[in-house]
A = this chain, B = another copy of it.
Amino acid sequence: MAAFPFDIQATEGAARTGVLRTARGDIRTPAFMPVGTAGTVKALTMDQVRATGADIILGNTVHLMLRPGAERVKRLGGLHRFGGWDRPILTDSGGFQVMSLSKLTKITEEAATFASPIDGSRHVLSPERSVEIQADLLGSDIVMQLDECIAWPASEERAAAALRLSARWGARCKAAFGERETQALFGIQQGSTFEVLRRESSARLIETGYDGYAIGGLAVGEGHQAMCEVLDYAPGLLPADRPRYLMGVGKPVDLVEAVARGVDMFDCVLPTRAGRHGQAWTWAGPINLKSARFAEDETPLDADIACPASNAYTKAYLHHLVKSGEILAQVMLSWHNLAFYQTLMARMRSAITEGRFASFRAEFHAGLRPAAGQ
């Protein structure tokens, strides 16, 4: 396996900061990956995404296999060239989308069968096909194993069956993936909120052996507190020397608490989705620019964030754009939110490096603007 070098440069408690070195560039951890569902981080150009400080973005296997089609992306030179992003891309395997996109999904030992939300056509996604799409057709740098993602709450029996199927699918993914110089394969821990199942899942993942390990099946409705309780033990069940990726998470407070518990990588649609709906993140929490209280507010969203959407326009102007239904409102707020998230990650990295993550965390919870570090 590729086993991109992962240099952990500093730790504080369970929190750690480092660099994952891929063939397409370094990923500074803890890292937040903007979601580029269908070959575009919604509403933004790749230059704008890069300018926020993102080292890596995420692409969606299921969305891209349905449109424009994975073979078509391959013929067009792969996902990096297609979308104009030459740095690392992680692709999810499709497990989560298969669950969330369609009520007509059928899971067998062999594969998941699901209906396209675009035209209702039936599609089969097996572990082998998921790897082929991600690694060979899209040309992803970090390939995720196919897993069975279940809704919350789930019975222990249901969660156990899903993690065991996921473990068997993971082994098939690894066999299909084989040995690759410039691509990595990550396994996915499942087990819902049951510690005994998370332990079993982790043991099976380690037995198979992956380049990195994800924590799946969280942020599916259990809430921040229940998620934190799982994160009290789940990251520690995974190899300390490899990156740990918490899938689909989350709000800034989720990221801070997960980093405190040893997580290295995140992805979430929240910053861009919230931005498209008029919401902007601040250190004091989210605000909705549609509110009349911003109609004559001449302050920017955040003068200290190095993004034009954050520092160069007044809230009054952004309020006007949101009220007027202007596309630029969606662009500006998506852009600001991604810049906010990347600033949050950068501040966490420097806090861990400088041994002051505990005080950073306390300041964050107090709604204070964290120090930029040295």
Are B76 and A296 in contact, with the CB atoms below 8 A? Answer: yes
Question: Given A40-B321, A47-B308: A82 and B316 within 8 A (CB)?
Answer: yes
**Chain B contacts of A5 at CB under 8 A?**
none
- Answer yes or no: A190 CB below 8 A from chain B CBs: no
- Answer yes or no: A68 CB below 8 A from chain B CBs: yes
Are B45 and A328 in contact, with the CB atoms below 8 A? Answer: yes
Encode contact with B along A305-337: 1 for CB under 8 Å, 0 otherwise.
Answer: 000100011101101110110111011100000
**Chain B contacts of A243 at CB under 8 A?**
none
Are A327 and B328 in contact, with the CB atoms below 8 A? Answer: no
Are A84 and B328 in contact, with the CB atoms below 8 A? Answer: no
Cα A40 to Cα B329 with chains together (Å): 10
Are B327 and A38 in contact, with the CB atoms below 8 A? Answer: no
Are A327 and B327 in contact, with the CB atoms below 8 A? Answer: yes
Are A326 and B38 in contact, with the CB atoms below 8 A? Answer: yes
Encode contact with B along A30-54: 1 for CB under 8 Å, 0 otherwise.
Answer: 0000000011101111010000000
Question: Given A47-B308, A76-B298, A295-B68: A39 and B327 within 8 A (CB)?
Answer: no
- Answer yes or no: A172 CB below 8 A from chain B CBs: no
Question: Given A68-B295, A83-B317, A320-B38: A328 and B76 within 8 A (CB)?
Answer: no
- Answer yes or no: A75 CB below 8 A from chain B CBs: yes
- Answer yes or no: A67 CB below 8 A from chain B CBs: yes
**Chain B contacts of A330 at CB under 8 A?**
327
- Answer yes or no: A72 CB below 8 A from chain B CBs: yes
Residue of B nearest to A77 (CB): B298
Cα A319 to Cα B314 with chains together (Å): 34
Are B308 and A67 in contact, with the CB atoms below 8 A? Answer: no
Cα A82 to Cα B321 with chains together (Å): 11
Shortest C-beta distance, A256 to chain B (Å), equals 29
Shortest C-beta distance, A49 to chain B (Å), equals 11
Are A38 and B324 in contact, with the CB atoms below 8 A? Answer: yes
Are A317 and B39 in contact, with the CB atoms below 8 A? Answer: yes
Cα A328 to Cα B45 with chains together (Å): 7
Residue of B nearest to A325 (CB): B38
**Chain B contacts of A323 at CB under 8 A?**
67-68
Shortest C-beta distance, A368 to chain B (Å), equals 29
Are B327 and A72 in contact, with the CB atoms below 8 A? Answer: no
> Which 4 interchain pairs have the tightest Cβ spacing?
A43-B327, A40-B328, A68-B320, A38-B324
A38-B324, A40-B324, A42-B327 given. 11 additional CB < 8 A pairs? A42-B326, A42-B328, A45-B328, A47-B308, A68-B295, A72-B296, A76-B316, A76-B317, A77-B298, A82-B317, A327-B331
Instruction: Give A residues with C-beta under 8 Å from B.
Output: 38-40, 42-45, 47, 67-68, 72, 75-77, 82-84, 276, 295-296, 298, 308, 312-314, 316-317, 319-321, 323-324, 326-328, 330-332
